[in-house]
Amino acid sequence: MNRRTKGALAIGAGVIILLGGAGSYALWSDTEDIAGGNIQTGDFGLDCGTGEWTDESATTNGGTAINPTSDLMVPGDVWQYAGTCLVTATGKNIDATLGVEGIGGDDLPSSNFAVTTTVDGTDTTTTPISVADGDSLPVTVTLEFKDTTTGTEDTDVPVDVSGMKVTLRQVRPA
């Protein structure tokens, strides 16, 4: 191979290296800062004070005051917990459902029992409510031992309410 051919090959290889290895055919580009700052998340919470249990059955013996740790439920009893919960809800697009954990669902002995949670008469276990920061919610949890219970079903069974917790769950507005 002569010198000119070797030189041409060397120049061609150099151009290929410059084009392929050193990047691309970059044309002009620019970047610009966007004014704004930090995005902050909101806050969500519930603080329930001490509530009270009462017997709200259609008929009662001995008044409406009950102690859930010592009084015994019988078919036809309707016991209610009433308390006030303070809402923390900062941010946009906040609705919520309010429920109860610790009793209800799988925690109940059988289908002879029913639990509902309401705020101002609205069943909040299925119907979302609008909440705002600082709202004071009058919460009622109703535990019913259905009067349709037959024979000796659910005799001497525990319905533990000592671990009951009121829960507030955010949902997107409709």
Q: Does a structural domain hold residue 32? A: no
Supply the pLDDT for residue 5. 67
Average the pLDDT over 98-120 and give the result. Answer: 80
Domain boundaries, position 121 = 43-151+159-171
Q: For residues 52 and 59, give the distance between their C-alpha atoms in angstroms, rounded to a whole number.
A: 19
DSSP class of residue 33? -
Mean pLDDT of 36-58: 89
pLDDT of residue 6: 65
Q: How confident is the model at residue 164 (pLDDT cuts 50, 70, 90)?
A: confident
More confident residue, 103 or 134: 134
Strand partners, 141: 81, 117
The verdict on residue 129 lying in a domain is yes
Domain for residue 16, yes or no?
no
Residue 147 lies in a domain: yes
pLDDT of residue 117: 86
| pLDDT for position 12 | 60
Assigned domain for 128 exists: yes
Overall average pLDDT of the 159-173 stretch: 83
pLDDT at residue 13 in the model: 59
The answer to whether residue 10 is domain-embedded is no
The answer to the question of residue 86 being in a domain is yes
Q: How many domains does the chain have?
A: 1
Instruction: Please report the pLDDT score of residue 43 as a whole number.
Output: 93
With a cut of 80, say whether residue 112 has pLDDT above it: yes
The 10s digit of each residue's pLDDT in 51-95 is 899 999 988 887 888 887 788 889 999 999 999 999 999 988 888
Question: What is each CA distance from 43 to 46, 48, 107, 158, 173, in whole angstroms?
Answer: 10, 17, 30, 37, 17
Q: Say what the pLDDT of residue 105 is.
A: 60
Q: Is residue 27 part of a domain?
A: no
Q: At 165, which CATH number?
A: 2.60.40
Q: How much is the mean pLDDT over the chain?
A: 83
